[in-house]
Amino acid sequence: MLPSILASGLAIGAVYALIGITYNTMFSASRVMSFTAGQLGMLGGVLGSLFILRLGLPPIVGFVVTLAACAVVGVITEVVAVRPVLSKLDQHLYVLSTLALALMIQQVTAIEWSTEPQPFPRLFGIGNGGPWDEKFWLPLVACAVVVIGLEYLYRRTLVGRAFLAISEDNFAARALGLPERNLRIASYAMAAVIGGIAGFASGELLLAFFANGAMLNFYGFVPVALGGLGNNRGAIIGGLALGLFQQAANFTFGGVFASVAVFIVFIVVLLAAPQGLFGATAARRV
């Protein structure tokens, strides 16, 4: 039992962590919490199944095309649901605009794809249902690759440093001549690719199912709240911890009680540390 809990918990936790990073990447560029993050994860699984199983593309080609399609959705999110809100005084309207777009993506997927879970192709054929099956380690590998790639991007490249500049102070970044709008669009495209990787890597685990979007929206937000908004390392730790706790609760209590246990822990942590376990307390100018 313990190996199964660890394998499934770490796998689903890695998916939650990647969705949390998707949230953080979009937020850092615009200070907008886009609720399309979970839908991007859902599209990674649905489009991967569409391109590889239904259209017969080779897995590597299907993977690339899936990420390209997710990047387009990310750009559409910035243009349609985020950019109009940034020019308004009531910027909290992003809750409605991004949530509306997320619901539209989900309903269009249900209509055009299926309302039933669809199979996702075996990518490597490694493992045979045990704890070492590829459906368990693929999300972990994807999470590690994304984290290493982001660290390299932010620390070693000029584009990454420009991303950091607009995340820290977009007004100062504009004053220095940085193309803030273009960087924001690129950041949303990159976030969408990360969400697509999460969905594609977890396709064998979660299947290609339109309802995965709503589930990932919530469980992907929990690591962000637990780890601190904008803190990717906190999102990783929070996501893995959430996955392990959720799977342990599933094995122990099962069904609805596992979800209740997650809610209880989530509320207790936020009451004890509203800024998140790894988030910094916001400073107030006087």
Average pLDDT estimate for 151-175: 85
- pLDDT of the residue at 125: 84
DSSP secondary structure code for residue 253 in this structure: T
241: pLDDT strictly greater than 80: yes
| Domain regions of the chain by residue span | 2-245
Tokens 């290609």 correspond to 208
Task: Say what the pLDDT of residue 220 is.
Answer: 93
- pLDDT of 44 higher than 50: yes
Confidence tier at 286 by pLDDT (50, 70, 90): very low
Give the burial class of 176: count Cβ atoms within 10 A of its Cβ; 0-12 exposed, 13-18 middle, 19 or more buried.
Answer: exposed
Where does 2-245 sit in CATH, by number? Answer: 1.10.3470
Determine the pLDDT at residue 191.
Answer: 96
- Full 3-state SS string of 21-79: HHHHHHHHHHCCCCCCHHHHHHHHHHHHHHHHHHCCCCHHHHHHHHHHHHHHHHHHHHH
Q: Which of 28-37, 175-184, 220-229, 260-269 has the lowest mean pLDDT?
A: 260-269
Residue pLDDT, tens place only, 78-100: 999 998 888 775 667 778 899 99
Q: Which two three-digit tokens encode residue 249?
A: 């609760």
- Res 184: pLDDT: 92
State mean pLDDT over 181-199.
95
pLDDT band at 284 (very low <50, low <70, confident <90, very high): very low
55 phi/psi in degrees, rounded to 5: -95, -10
* DSSP class per residue in 167-189: HH-HHHHHHTT--HHHHHHHHHH
The whole-angstrom separation of Cα 113 and Cα 45 is 12
Tokens representing 38 are: 């979970």
Pairwise CA distance, residues 80 & 101, whole Å: 8
pLDDT, mean over the chain: 89
